[in-house]
Structure 1
């Protein structure tokens, strides 16, 4: 069973991998620490592959699935696992480093950076989005109690998916 931080996907023989087969694209797992995490590449996604990789690592880092100072797979190893050009992985790692999600040590590899400030920035971004949506909802006549009810539903659905 692989834990993907948002969903658990069973790959035992009893379900013939039906849960996995619904994903469009290429799925690969790699070992980081004691947990297995999925990198899902969707070839129908309009975003470049490196952006998909960046987004997935950001998600894993912000959710705490990848701990600070955890070493990432080497560029070569991850490129081989994903069957893509190593330059694509290098570009993703460079972008993650530029954004402060990872740091590199010459000759040793790439590691997860301390990320409390990134989590704080993400929280603020989410709150700004919520305020924008509240203004939009108020503008079309959605009542406060309706909005609060929908938010509560969202939290309940999230717990079911965990």
Structure 2
């Protein structure tokens, strides 16, 4: 059973979770996703919600349905790289917006990131 935020539709939150698994290589190109029923039970949501999630991912060309076989992660490396880039840019944008709201300049953000990365490298 998964926790969901009230601010975003559940099907989109499921899609985000699947996309993150793909970017982390927990789901690989060509790999089969769980059946709608299994994903619904695991997530604690209605199967129609999972079907909507899979349909949305298919519309985005992240997954493809194969009649009688199930839903699979695309094998299109370009699409997977685009997904990776999109998620990276989304997180960077969120970070910059939050830091800007707190009053940090771009220069302070860059220096902060550089210091953080240097400390993590040790």
The question of a shared fold, defined as TM-score above 0.5 by the shorter chain, is answered with yes
Calculate the aligned-residue CA RMSD, in Å.
3.3
Alpha-carbon distance in structure 2 between the residues aligned to 1:154 and 1:51: 32
User: Greater relative contact order: 1 or 2 (C-alpha under 8 angstroms, separation 6 or more)?
Assistant: 2
Give 5+ residue unaligned stretches, structure 1: 1-25, 28-40
Q: How far off is 1:116 after superposition?
A: 3.1
Task: Tell me which residue corresponds to 1:81.
Answer: 42
Using structure 1 for the length normalisation, give the TM-score: 0.56
Matched-pair contact (CA < 8 Å) for 1:61–1:101: no
Task: Tell me which residue corresponds to 2:85.
Answer: 123
Which structure shows the higher helix fraction?
2
Q: How far off is 1:112 after superposition?
A: 0.8
Which structure shows the higher strand fraction?
1
Task: Tell me which residue corresponds to 2:64.
Answer: 103
Return the index of the structure with the highest Cα Rg: 1
Q: How far off is 1:65 after superposition?
A: 1.9
Matched-pair contact (CA < 8 Å) for 1:62–1:115: no
Alpha-carbon distance in structure 2 between the residues aligned to 1:114 and 1:49: 26
Task: Tell me which residue corresponds to 1:94.
Answer: 55
Q: How far off is 1:156 after superposition?
A: 6.3
User: SS in structure 1 opposite 2:19?
Assistant: helix
From 109, 113, 122, the equivalent of 1:147 is 109
